[in-house]
């Protein structure tokens, strides 16, 4: 049994902007079920939701700041959650990283440096919590300074840094160095410096004992210039300590047989009932209610990564066909605007909901026939797995975790009942269009389509295997 401190900037159901929250909400639960002593540490944002008991645990002074730590539980689990209470930094409304216009909070370097400092104090048992970590598991740039700061400690826990997304690196001008008061030994080009900027992610990549990312394919991709953002050399250099462990999903929350957000439950044995959710979705999105028209869904952050521009480029040709397209997302204002404009041009074919809406996300998974993920890169991706569980066939680009979790429908995989989706190679609109046409052809072969749906619904995306891989990793760290 290991004592693990899991450092994260978001965790479902407390606060969520994307997949990191899903992983931070479900991996610790899986680890606890495998008898690990795991604590999550996260800032207490203004909009954080809490469940049940929440109480004061201790106070500590770090960097001339007086901080309280509160304790609560992850719902339905034995996972303890420590909330860092420092209103001056964490009481902005809404998103943890950006304001309502999408601009980063101006003091993000200070806000997440404080998360890292407190995590180190807690891990080293200097926070009056009477608990010392064996392993500190950090996630993404917001926790990147933890391995760096720990490297300076005597008798320290092991550190693991998981890359959920290389595109976000926590780069700040050197002017923040004074206010962060970081130890001088860390500031050099082989340390936290990156082209004369302070790089939080380098704290993890340079100093962590082990680096993981969220799929085996992405672990290889980030060692190339196309996906490494200038850090590929460092990752190649640390290759021996780098590996990919695929994410699992929370099988209780994403289950078409029990999903609290959808009215009509169904399973592989009652696939026909899925159409009631489709009708519900069409009604809710004010599209013509017609079971014969295939519905394509998309849920996600509207950013370059997700290939939204490829979809926009496809829409005129796509919407000339008998299909409907439903999208839920928010992000870049220009994507939001362009998508909304398109709904005026094709009101009976495309429906767009801009915003964050958990209930609608579940209804789309339950009601759509196909799910689009034409990502330019995708470290893991969760929606393609949720989609498979709901018999909603994913159409994905062959990258990162999408390549690792979807089996393309070919004559061979259809015949041997392993096909679970449609995969295409090139990041361009015609390759995507080609893939959608391939899906529509299969859709029209009712029995074949139902068979692919059943294969997808039977795929195993539980955390079981991956949680075991993390435990093995924790156990084998030698320093
Ligand atoms: P990423 O972490 O890059 O955003 P993932 O596929 O790993 O991508 O995870 C995204 C998660 O966030 C999924 O659970 C998805 O359903 C959810 N999500 C994204 N955008 C929205 C939204 N606008 N409303 C509700 N859920 C969303
Ligand atoms: C990131 C990635 C996504 C991954 C998620 C959880 O946000 O973009 O692909 O699934 O983290 O690991």
Q: How confident is the model at residue 284 (pLDDT cuts 50, 70, 90)?
A: very high
Q: Three-class SS of residue 239?
A: helix
**CA of residue 142 to ligand 2 center, whole Å:** 14
Q: Would you say the C-alpha torsion 118, 124, 126, 128 has a positive or negative sign?
A: positive
Architecture of domain 3-248+463-476: 3-Layer(aba) Sandwich (3.40)
Residue 379 CB less than 6 A away from ligand 2: yes
Residue 7 CB less than 6 A away from ligand 2: no
Section 375-393 average pLDDT: 98
CB 136 within 8 A of CB 123: yes
CATH number of 268-458: 3.40.50.2000
The pLDDT value recorded for residue 84 is 98
Q: Three-class SS of residue 324?
A: strand
pLDDT at 101 over 90: no
**CA of residue 13 to ligand 1 center, whole Å:** 13
Buried b (16+ CB within 10 A) or exposed e, 135-173: bbbbbbbbbbbbbbbbbeeeebbbbbbbbbbbebbbbbe
The pLDDT value recorded for residue 143 is 98
pLDDT at 324 over 80: yes
Residue 361 CB less than 6 A away from ligand 2: no
Could you give the percent of the chain with pLDDT greater than 90? 97
**Over the Cα atoms of the chain, what is R_g?**
23
Residue 244 CB less than 6 A away from ligand 1: no
Residue 164 CB less than 6 A away from ligand 2: yes
Nearest partner of 201 among 123, 112, 103, judged by Cα: 112
Nearest partner of 120 among 83, 141, 150, judged by Cα: 150
Tell me if domain 3-248+463-476 and domain 268-458 are identical in fold: yes
Q: How confident is the model at residue 422 (pLDDT cuts 50, 70, 90)?
A: very high
pLDDT at 451 over 90: yes
Q: Three-class SS of residue 230?
A: coil
**CA of residue 413 to ligand 2 center, whole Å:** 27
The pLDDT value recorded for residue 34 is 97
The CB-side HSE value for 338 (13 A sphere, CA atoms) comes to 15
Q: Which two tokens stand for residue 354?
A: 């801009």
Q: Three-class SS of residue 241?
A: helix
Section 329-348 average pLDDT: 95
pTM score: 0.97
Nearest partner of 98 among 290, 288, 332, 255, judged by Cα: 332
**CA of residue 240 to ligand 1 center, whole Å:** 31
Instruction: Name the residue of 246, 297, 301 whose CB sits within 8 Å of the most ligand 1 atoms, as the mutation to test its pocket.
Output: 301
pLDDT at 479 over 80: no
Q: How confident is the model at residue 478 (pLDDT cuts 50, 70, 90)?
A: confident
Ligand 2 atom 10 nearest Cα: 381
Residue 330 CB less than 6 A away from ligand 1: yes
Residue 361 CB less than 6 A away from ligand 1: yes
Residue 9 CB less than 6 A away from ligand 1: no
β-pairing, 158-163 vs 135-139, is: parallel
Q: Which two tokens stand for residue 150?
A: 């720990």
Question: What pLDDT, in 10s, does the model give residues 192-249?
Answer: 999 999 999 999 999 999 999 999 999 999 999 999 999 999 999 999 999 999 999 9
Task: List C-alpha distances in Å: 110 to 167, 183, 311.
Answer: 20, 15, 38
Tokens 């005129």 locate to 316
Nearest partner of 357 among 296, 264, 281, judged by Cα: 281
Question: What pLDDT, in 10s, does the model give residues 135-185?
Answer: 999 999 999 999 999 999 999 999 999 999 999 999 999 999 989 999 999
Q: Which two tokens stand for residue 331?
A: 């992000």
Residue 246 CB less than 6 A away from ligand 1: no
Computed over every residue of the chain, the mean pLDDT equals: 97
pLDDT at 310 over 90: yes
Question: What pLDDT, in 10s, does the model give residues 38-66?
Answer: 999 999 999 999 999 999 999 999 989 99
Residue 366 CA to residue 387 CA, distance in Å, equals 8
Residues in CB range of 472: below 8 A, 6 or more apart: none
Tokens 């409304």 locate to 93
Q: Which two tokens stand for residue 423?
A: 């995969």
Task: List C-alpha distances in Å: 98 to 103, 169, 301.
Answer: 5, 15, 13
The pLDDT value recorded for residue 125 is 98
The pLDDT value recorded for residue 102 is 85
pLDDT at 124 over 90: yes
Query: In the chain, where are the structural domains located?
Result: 3-248+463-476, 268-458
Q: How confident is the model at residue 332 (pLDDT cuts 50, 70, 90)?
A: very high
**CA of residue 19 to ligand 1 center, whole Å:** 6
Q: How confident is the model at residue 94 (pLDDT cuts 50, 70, 90)?
A: confident
Residue 376 CB less than 6 A away from ligand 2: no
* Cα-to-chain-centroid distance, residue 375: 13
Nearest ligand 2 atom to the CA of 18 is 7
User: 60 pairs with which residues across the strands?
Assistant: 67
Residue 261 CB less than 6 A away from ligand 1: no
């Amino acid at each position: 049994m290991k004592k693990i401190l899991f450092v994260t900037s978001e965790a479902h159901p407390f606060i969520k902007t994307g997949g990191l929250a899903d992983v931070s909400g479900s991996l610790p639960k899986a680890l606890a079920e495998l008898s690990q002593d795991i604590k999550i540490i996260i800032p207490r944002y203004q909009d954080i939701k809490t469940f049940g008991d929440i109480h004061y645990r201790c106070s500590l002074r770090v960097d001339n700041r007086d901080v309280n730590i509160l304790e609560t539980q992850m719902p339905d689990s034995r996972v303890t959650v420590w909330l860092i209470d420092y209103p001056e930094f964490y009481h902005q409304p809404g998103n943890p990283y950006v304001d309502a216009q999408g601009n980063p909070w101006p003091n993000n370097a200070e806000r997440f440096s404080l998360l890292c400092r407190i995590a180190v104090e807690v891990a080293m048992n200097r926070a009056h919590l009477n608990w010392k970590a064996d392993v500190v598991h950090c996630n993404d740039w917001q926790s990147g300074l933890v391995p760096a700061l720990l490297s300076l400690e005597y008798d320290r826990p092991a550190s693991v840094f998981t890359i959920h997304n290389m595109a976000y690196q926590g780069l700040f001008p050197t002017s923040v160095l004074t206010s962060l008061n970081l130890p001088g030994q860390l500031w050099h080009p082989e340390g936290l410096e990156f082209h004369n900027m302070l790089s939080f992610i380098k704290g993890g990549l340079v100093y962590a004992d082990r680096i993981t990312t969220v799929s085996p394919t992405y672990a290889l991709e980030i060692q190339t210039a196309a996906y490494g953002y200038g850090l590929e050399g460092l990752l190649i250099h640390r290759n021996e300590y780098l590996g990919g462990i695929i994410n699992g999903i929370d099988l209780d929350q994403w289950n078409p047989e029990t999903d609290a957000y959808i009215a009509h439950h169904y399973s592989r044995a009652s696939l026909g009932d899925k159409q009631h959710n489709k009708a519900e979705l069409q009604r809710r999105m004010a599209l013509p209610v017609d079971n014969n028209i295939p519905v394509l869904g998309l849920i996600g952050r509207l950013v370059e990564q997700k290939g939204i521009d490829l979809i926009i480029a496809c829409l005129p040709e796509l919407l000339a066909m008998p299909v409907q397209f439903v999208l839920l997302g928010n992000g870049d204002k220009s994507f939001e605007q362009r998508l909304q404009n398109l709904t005026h041009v094709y009101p009976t074919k495309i429906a767009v909901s801009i915003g964050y809406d958990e209930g609608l996300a579940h209804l789309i998974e339950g009601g759509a026939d196909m799910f689009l993920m034409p990502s330019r890169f995708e470290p893991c991706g969760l929606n393609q797995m949720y989609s498979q569980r709901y018999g909603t066939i994913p159409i994905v680009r062959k990258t990162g975790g999408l390549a690792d979790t979807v089996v393309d429908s070919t004559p061979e995989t259809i015949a041997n009942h392993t096909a679970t989706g449609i995969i295409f190679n090139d990041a361009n609109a015609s390759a995507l269009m080609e893939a959608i046409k391939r899906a529509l052809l299969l859709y029209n072969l009712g029995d074949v389509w139902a068979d692919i749906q059943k294969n997808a619904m039977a795929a195993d995306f539980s955390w079981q295997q991956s949680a075991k891989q993390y435990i093995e990793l924790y156990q084998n760290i030698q320093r």
